[in-house]
Structure 1
Amino acid sequence: MSQSDRIRIANRVASELSEGEIVNLGVGIPTLIPDCLGDKKVFLQTENGLLGMGPTPKEEEVNMDLISASKKPVTMDIGASIFDSSDSFAMIRGGHVDVAVLGALQVDQYGEIANWAVPGKTILGVGGAMDLVAGAKKIIIAATHMSKSGEPKLVEKLTFPSSGVAKADLLVTEHAVFGFTNDGVELVELLSDISLKDLQQITGPTFKVKRAEIKN
């Protein structure tokens, strides 16, 4: 997927965030979001212990002692605070994160997420995924529509280990925005020029169309 596709996803997720929200950003595409917020005042939290993360630093201003949980160099906004990992996870587990923006390996038709392990492959551990899924008030998945092997990430049923019982509210890919209900997945918005027929062909479950204005 091109960088422009990744930025399209990050921009669309950024449009879902509201002033004053505390937002945790996961690895991958979510790390692009600080550069997509413009003047919107959102309090970005990284689980290694920073609240008030700013945009990506210029190359000459990079300080590798100041990094996100994704090990990417970051800046601090005015008023930012630094704390240890235990306080960071107390914040997450205590329900003080309004939105978690996560990547995913798979999302099922009801919004259940798998984002930490591929069966048969070596893993380092679940990290903060299970805590964020359980503790955040809203979950947005920012991910490519297909895996590197060409399989849909939106599936009828997870085949990878689940990250927890909490469900995603939205999935944003380079092609579309999907929402989740007890009846299954809904197409909320198209983000590319793909047709509905072609989108369905690269999507695991059959989706409903939420908005009448999506007509192609």
Structure 2
Amino acid sequence: MGMGAETRRLIAKRAAQEVTYGMMVNLGIGIPTLVADFIPPALDVMLHTENGILGMGGSPAPGKEDGNLSNAGGYPVSINTGASFFDSAEAFGMVRRGHLDLTILGALEVNGRGDIANWIVPGKRVPGMGGAIDLAQKAKKVIVLMSHTTKEGIPKILKECSLPLTVKEGAHMIITERAVMRIKNGELFLIEVMPGFSIEDVINSTEAKLNIELVGRGTS
């Protein structure tokens, strides 16, 4: 079974804790888009989108959607005071010049060194690689949000990725419904266990070698 809405929001809420004052942040399609709803306004964060917004807000209230305002995934968004608009070339220029403090993205697979595979499944049609490669290479910090296993229970945090790579050693942190993991010097460290799971649950569902360095026991 796939993750329910509350589980997805739990992951997004935990990821929002990694956002600090004044950051310029890009949120990828899927669970990462939910992070915008958990960033306190007082942090004065500027959310960036590949389709040309700097200063994006969270999801609009029902009935307040504007068909002209959407994130890169095509979902309605709100706009914060001081936001600016530009074309995709300018948006990617910001990414490629290294101006993003943080990108939060989804993935199909990640390995213990931080290699990310998130742009294609061989044999399936996709419209293109989008901004995945640029974002994963150029942001100062990269956080991956994903389910810990496939629907069949197969680990997605692997010794070696089987799918085509987006970037090598690009991920700094992985957050799933089971755990928060940090990648440091090419090694994977378990730093938090999410509510409802044990250390053993995480180890048994992770193929990559996992070092235990707990600093917390999940979010409230």
- Aligned position for 1:176: 179
The letter for the 1-side match of 2:51 is N
The letter for the 1-side match of 2:177 is E
Deviation, structure 1 residue 205:
1.3
* CA distance in structure 2 between the partners assigned to 1:98 and 1:195 by the alignment: 32
Deviation, structure 1 residue 104:
0.3
What secondary structure sits across from 1:59 in the alignment?
coil
Q: Does 1:28 align with 2:48?
A: no
* CA distance in structure 2 between the partners assigned to 1:119 and 1:24 by the alignment: 26
- Aligned position for 2:19: 17
1:69 to 1:213, Cα distance in 2 relative to 1, 3 A? closer
Q: Does 1:94 align with 2:81?
A: no
The letter for the 1-side match of 2:179 is A
Query: Would the aligned equivalents of 2:58 and 2:77 in 1 still touch at CA under 8 Å?
Result: yes
Query: Would the aligned equivalents of 1:134 and 1:166 in 2 still touch at CA under 8 Å?
Result: no
1:183 to 1:58, Cα distance in 2 relative to 1, 3 A? closer
Aligned length: 214
The superposition leaves residues 128-166 of structure 1 with CA deviations (integer Å, 9 ceiling, x where unpaired) of: 000101111100011111123432221110100111234
- Aligned position for 1:141: 144
* CA distance in structure 2 between the partners assigned to 1:51 and 1:107 by the alignment: 28
- Aligned position for 1:66: 69
- Aligned position for 2:80: 77
The superposition leaves residues 145-203 of structure 1 with CA deviations (integer Å, 9 ceiling, x where unpaired) of: 11234322211101001112342110001111001123521101111221212211111
The letter for the 2-side match of 1:29 is I
Deviation, structure 1 residue 6:
0.7
Give the TM-score normalised by structure 1: 0.94
- Aligned position for 1:163: 166
* CA distance in structure 2 between the partners assigned to 1:148 and 1:120 by the alignment: 20
* CA distance in structure 2 between the partners assigned to 1:196 and 1:131 by the alignment: 34
Mapping for residues 47-58 of structure 1, pairs under 5 Å: 47-58=50-61
Q: Percent identity?
A: 40
**Structure 1 unmatched ranges of 5 or more:** none
Give the TM-score normalised by structure 2: 0.93
Query: Would the aligned equivalents of 2:191 and 2:215 in 1 still touch at CA under 8 Å?
Result: no
- Aligned position for 1:125: 128
The letter for the 2-side match of 1:180 is I
1:86 to 1:212, Cα distance in 2 relative to 1, 3 A? closer
Q: Which runs of 4+ in 1 moved over 6 A?
A: none
**Structure 2 unmatched ranges of 5 or more:** none
The letter for the 1-side match of 2:37 is D
Query: Would the aligned equivalents of 1:53 and 1:76 in 2 still touch at CA under 8 Å?
Result: yes
Query: Would the aligned equivalents of 1:6 and 1:29 in 2 still touch at CA under 8 Å?
Result: yes
CA RMSD of superposed structures (Å) = 1.4
* CA distance in structure 1 between the partners assigned to 2:113 and 2:191 by the alignment: 14
* CA distance in structure 1 between the partners assigned to 2:14 and 2:215 by the alignment: 20
7, 30, 36: which one aligns with 1:5: 7
The letter for the 2-side match of 1:28 is G
Deviation, structure 1 residue 65:
1.2
